[in-house]
A and B are shown apart, each in its own frame.
Chain A
């Protein structure tokens, strides 16, 4: 396991949105997924995950619903709303532009 990085708030929001774009998921699932996909580099602490979820839901970017899990336990599932989807698209292109720009500077300066 390599060094873990803390996430900036905006970045966490983006990751949550991206994760939910694949499928609806509950908080624990989201955290696990981010961890797995980032190969354990990104650890999402509950202390920032749940406030972020509630913030996004309040903004109307995601919505929540109680559903049964595969093990038949009730869990709160989040999914992207329509405005969440377009927000994700905006933020993604923003991110690519930004990271591209940074990469250019780092590679060529």
Chain B
């Protein structure tokens, strides 16, 4: 036994050997002294001594207990058993590998995204502070505030730090070619929110965020690395951003591109919409709540100030309220629910796999009933037998676990591939935490696998099963009940997964069928932002937009081109309050709201939004002519049900006083378009011409006759032909934007479908296994029935009925569970309710068909029982 040597401790074995040898020698000496011959002396001594090995074993057990060695023996024995039935071993390991593999893969995504380790202390105290409405509940929305309001919020007592922040791309010039950096405009205390320390140089000094302060910048480590080649002299360098010279004063440590992946941090007063007033709400707030203060207390504290502001400055701030949200929650907002749903799904898959394997082991255990009974009869303790069963499950679980981890490693790239945007900023790896999770799962599996057979076998009455083992006579069939219960559970859990998958498939279909309002094929887009100090006048800005659209239209392969401020699904959008001219002014907070967009005249034609009434903009609409707008059909239907909106007026209401109260004339009605996401419900939108509203940001959209991406370079060159220092970025197709928009939905739908199918197959396997086992056990009975002339159809129905009972019970239980579960995933569904009948029917039907198919095979084999053979055996 090799294990003995393995577990030899502190020379215990040689000690024991020597000690007993000494005893033997003295015994021999004594015998010699009493006059025996040497041979006789040894013989007598050995007889007196008895079983040397037995004594040694007793001493060993006293010292170390018997656990380790007998566990080793059990495992070896388990391995030998498995070796005898490689088919079973393969199926068992494969089932476990699949389920542990998907569990580990999903957990590693959860680990990387939801359980991310942040490089700073107490991340739970870092919050986004959103200036919302008084009635806003705790759902997070990006709520912007003004500079002066922010300064008033500075009176708070519940935050260690409260900082102002807005992300905006900045143009980096003065290099070979213009480039775009993701900038964050922040107050000087921004880095204190995270408790960051500079990697190089320093952060902003107090007061550097005030008007008139110099242009200083802090780089992220990543930008320092990729854009500036880890230049050691970076701190003495100046860079040109948005046509201003900035001195780089510091570099952040690695992994601090917060809150989103910023390349460069600038002070807030250099941001284009920085105005020391209350009407320009252009900033977001981030803060670190004091250690002993809850988020609710922090919210209440700021709300006190917000109420005062609303009272003191009713024009700008009436009805404002504060929402405070854990920043991690905001970062993971979209992916949190899908990941949790998937985690739950794979947990179910694992349970099904365990029930399945337990059933397989039960069936094997049933065959080994005789053996176990014999062992019990020979005095093996119940705990000893249970331990042996667990030890046999361990090799299966270990092999399955190991294969599962390897599988998970293979699955990770697929996962990232399916949702590149979601997982863009996270590194999904099998780190220590994931490995620990996988190991725990494996251990848990081993225990689950062993429990059922253990309970069943060790609970049997020794004499009767011994009887059974020898005679092959069935009297009790408690094992059958346990196994049927397992199958029912499997069906129930599969139903939950299948219904979930059908709901998600239906929802995804609806989502994909929903009309963006644009014709998406062959549409290329890219973004740019003009430096305000270079294009100072509204006329210069409008001229650039007009000119650049004309220039890129000349590129061969481009059919038409236009500029839009916020392209649908691009992530850019704005909204505005308005009333129909002459309508009574509703109280603040209840005014109708619509998306706003700026466009050049060719926009509708380029992206394929149909003009339903009136006209699109044209070159006649300029700063010198009366302001005009085009509205979407949704807005027209809601506010102009009684008359043609063309020619009617709207009155704009905005905290920006240059816009507030402005009257605009509707000149056209166009088709609806989704703005933020395919899930948008409200498609009311007001379009303004660039020529009448100054703006520095634009999105080029081009309808191409060829593959859009093939024109990317030529279009960029055309832009640089107009201004060689103007960077363009986010070069992508409209199709890509749609795919990105539905990425999380697709990930969830595809994976859930996969898990549902996996669960279904496992369950079918389980049903098949149990029924064919029953047929095997009832062979004699069936043989007799057939011999006595039973109808073969009836014999088949006997088995089918048993299968049907289990499946129906499973569907009933699973159906109820599915109702509860689908309510939980209702928030990710689109276009259907959580109780969508089609989805439920689909889930039930698929399970029913597959399970009955699985029952049919053993049922058919029952009809083929040859009575002659069976009776002869008896």
Contacts and interface: CB of A to CB of B under 8 A. Distances in A.
Interface string B8-31: 000000010011101101110000
B312 to A, nearest CB: 80
Given A47-B50, A50-B55, A28 B62 contact: no
Interface in A66-101: 66, 73-76
A60 B5 CA distance: 26
Contacts of A66: 15
Contacts of A27: 19, 22-23
A88 B436 CA distance: 50
Interface string A47-58: 100110011001
Nearest to A71: B29
B62 A46 contact: no
B63 A58 contact: yes
B35 interface: no
Contacts of B54: 47
Given A51-B59, A51-B62, A76-B15, A26 B49 contact: no
Contacts of A54: 59, 62-63
A28 B22 contact: yes
B432 interface: no
B27 A28 contact: yes
Interface in A28-69: 28, 31, 45-47, 50-51, 54-55, 58, 66
B51 interface: yes
A58 B59 CA distance: 10
Contacts of A76: 15, 18-19, 22
Contact of A73 (B20, B25, B50): B25
A73 B23 CA distance: 11
Given A28-B26, A28-B27, A58-B63, A74 B18 contact: yes
Most A CB atoms within 10 A — which of B19, B50, B51, B63?
B19
State the majority secondary structure of interface residues on B: helix
Contacts of B509: none
B49 A46 contact: yes
A31 B19 CA distance: 14
Contacts of A45: 50
B58 interface: yes
B22 A26 contact: yes
B62 A58 contact: yes
Interface in B32-71: 48-51, 54-55, 58-59, 62-63
B63 A50 contact: no
Interface residues of B, number: 19
Contacts of B18: 74, 76
Contact of A55 (B27, B55, B62): B62
Interface string B354-389: 000000000000000000000000000000000000
State the majority secondary structure of interface residues on A: helix
Contact of A46 (B15, B20, B63): B20
A1 to B, nearest CB: 13
A46 B22 contact: no
B64 to A, nearest CB: 10
Given A28-B26, A76-B15, A50 B20 contact: yes
Interface in B287-338: none
A66 B20 CA distance: 13
Contacts of B62: 51, 54-55, 58
A51 B22 contact: no
Contacts of B27: 28
Contacts of A28: 22-23, 26-27
A31 B50 CA distance: 15
B25 A47 contact: no
A51 B61 CA distance: 9
Given A45-B50, A58-B63, A50 B19 contact: yes
A33 to B, nearest CB: 12
Contacts of B59: 50-51, 54
B263 to A, nearest CB: 67
A41 B18 CA distance: 28
A55 B15 CA distance: 15
Contacts of B48: 46
Most A CB atoms within 10 A — which of B15, B22, B25?
B22
B50 A46 contact: yes
A66 B16 CA distance: 12
A74 B62 CA distance: 24
A54 B15 CA distance: 12
A28 B24 CA distance: 8
A53 B15 CA distance: 13
A28 B19 CA distance: 9
B41 to A, nearest CB: 15
B19 A51 contact: no
A47 B609 CA distance: 98
A34 to B, nearest CB: 14
A55 B26 CA distance: 23
B22 A47 contact: no
Contacts of B51: 47
A46 B55 contact: yes
B63 A47 contact: no
Nearest to A46: B49
Contacts of B50: 45-47
B22 A75 contact: yes
A35 to B, nearest CB: 11
A51 B55 contact: yes
Nearest to A56: B62
A74 B25 CA distance: 12
B26 to A, nearest CB: 4
B440 to A, nearest CB: 33
Contacts of A75: 19, 22
A58 B22 CA distance: 21
Contacts of B20: 46, 50
Interface string A5-39: 00000000000000000000011100100000000
Contacts of B63: 54, 58
A6 to B, nearest CB: 14
A54 to B, nearest CB: 5
A45 B55 CA distance: 11
Contacts of A55: 62
A78 to B, nearest CB: 10
A73 B19 CA distance: 11
A31 B23 CA distance: 10
Contacts of A58: 62-63
A60 B54 CA distance: 24
A28 B21 CA distance: 10
A58 B9 CA distance: 14
Contacts of B19: 26-27, 50, 75-76
B60 to A, nearest CB: 9
Nearest to B23: A28
A66 B18 CA distance: 10
B54 to A, nearest CB: 7
A100 B225 CA distance: 92
B23 A47 contact: no
A27 B20 CA distance: 9
A31 B30 CA distance: 13
Given A74-B22, A76-B15, 10 more contacts: A26-B22, A28-B22, A28-B27, A47-B54, A47-B58, A50-B19, A50-B58, A51-B59, A54-B59, A58-B63
Closest A-B pairs by Cβ, 7 of them = A28-B26, A51-B58, A76-B19, A54-B59, A28-B23, A54-B62, A75-B22
19 contacts: A27-B23, A28-B26, A45-B50, A46-B20, A46-B23, A46-B48, A46-B55, A47-B50, A47-B51, A47-B58, A50-B19, A54-B59, A54-B62, A55-B62, A73-B22, A73-B25, A75-B22, A76-B19, A76-B22
